[in-house]
Amino acid sequence: MSDLPRKAVTRTAKLAALPLGFAGRATWGLGKRIGGKSAEIVARELQQRTAEQLFKVLGELKGGAMKFGQAMSVFESALPEEIAGPYRAALTKLQDAAPPMPTSTVHEVLRERLGEDWRDLFLEFEDKPAAAASIGQVHRAVWHDGREVAVKVQYPGAGEALLSDLSQLSRFARLLGPLIPGMDIKPLITELRDRVSEELDYALEAQAQQEHAAEFDDDSDVVVPDVVHQGDQVLVTEWIDGIPLAEVISDGTQEQRDRAGQLLARFLFSGPARTGLLHADPHPGNFRLLPPADEDGGEGDEQGGEGWRLGVLDFGTVDRLPGGLPGTIGESLRMTLAGEAEAVYGLLCEEGFVRESMALDPDAVLEYLLPIIEPAEADTFTFTRSWMRNQVARIADPRSPAHQLGKQLNLPPAYLLIHRVTLSTIGVLCQLNATVRLRDELEAWLPGFLDEAEEAGDSAEAGGAGETDRDGLVVEV
């Protein structure tokens, strides 16, 4: 299918076929087992067939269905290794590719939004899309001033399709849940629905992207393309090349993986502190690994791991945090690492993580949290799929104390998006198998992670030696 199906009945029919397909494959699996195949082999074949059908449908429908698939894709590292392979292949395909709009539709949108003489704005325009996403696709072009640009064109009917898909998917949340063990799918779908109107508004996206581009303009580690032109359903930004993060995950060197992981963690924590905005769509399709810049601002030779930069795309979904990330996060992390069970519990109660009607054991809460925040304790930490699977298994097993306690904790609405972004980023770090100095980034950017005495000491040291640059490092003056 080459165009975005707009009729609700067509899209509903495709999505409604998913649970029927699951049921059909379960019957097929039972037949195979009766015929003598082992349960393990049948389970693996069932998972592969399920992945193929699910992501074929999601990719064809684009809209909210594809957005849901992208949101889930970062949790692929939580799947048991014996079934992760088929999902990994299907999810990676979904992150960067989808059937394109017909060229005539693209031209029609450009004519309606940029005017009859839209071609005069470009020296060159490639009709074949360079990338496709959940609500639009990107074309490579050359702006009239000679700059290479990315032209994002929104699918006609994208808003209607998004809402229709997500409403339909919410009905199947229970059936889709087993795809990612231990994850509650329904709140994820609800949250995606809440973000639909913002993501459809390219004016909001342009503003968020330009604020990041201005702040990171001279940054040696993070590259955000400038906004060139914005119109209703069309957004033109500077083009950046680089290696898609999905390729780094599949084929990158260890140096590239570690560098990408470090910069991803740095961007996650430094972005809110520097811009008051949190990039809230951290799936691999939105990041590129770029070679170091030369003295003239172009791309230099590919050096060791430390030279690579992180290119960041797609600011359609952001969380607005004028004061940066909440200090409660840093304070609770610091106190948890220090073993201050009563203080941690008191802070969680104050912020609404523990309902007033609940009375939990502070030591049990501390024991629940410590394995999750293990990466923040060490000087360096290697994020692996096996570590992620162990965390998921610990929390997902209904027989475990961690599962029972987790069910009693509450996530306040103000923290929902921060929580999902953090989990998603950790999922990508595990896919990268990256060794990261996470504690460095927490100390530099997360309010409350250092106690007042440590912060005062750092400020005095920085004040005596020089100024602090954007990476949190001391620069001699």
| Tens digit of each residue's pLDDT (9 = 90 or more) over 443-455 | 999 999 997 656 5
Q: What is the pLDDT of residue 265?
A: 97
Residue 80 has pLDDT above 90, yes or no: no
21: confidence class by pLDDT, cuts 50, 70, 90: very low
Give residue 49's pLDDT: 62
pLDDT of residue 175: 52
Q: Where are the alpha helices (DSSP H) in 115-150?
A: none
58-62, 125-129, 194-198, 246-250 — which is least confidently predicted?
58-62
Dihedral over alpha carbons 181, 328, 274, 376 (to 10 degrees): -60
Decide if pLDDT at 274 tops 70.
Answer: yes
Confidence at 151, pLDDT banded by 50, 70, 90: very high
In degrees to the nearest 10, what's the CA dihedral of 450, 390, 424, 412? -70
Residue 95's CB: how many other CB atoms inside 10 A?
Answer: 22
Look-up of token digits 């700059």: 147
What pLDDT, on the 0 to 100 scale, is given for residue 33? 38
Answer whether residue 345 shows pLDDT above 90. yes
Length of the chain: 477
Answering whether pTM is above 0.85, one says: no
Does residue 5 carry a pLDDT above 70?
no
Contact residues for 30 (Cβ-Cβ < 8 A; gap 6+): none
Please state the domain extents for the chain: 8-97+168-182, 241-477
pLDDT computed for residue 51 by the predictor: 57
Q: How confident is the model at residue 3, as a pLDDT? A: 47
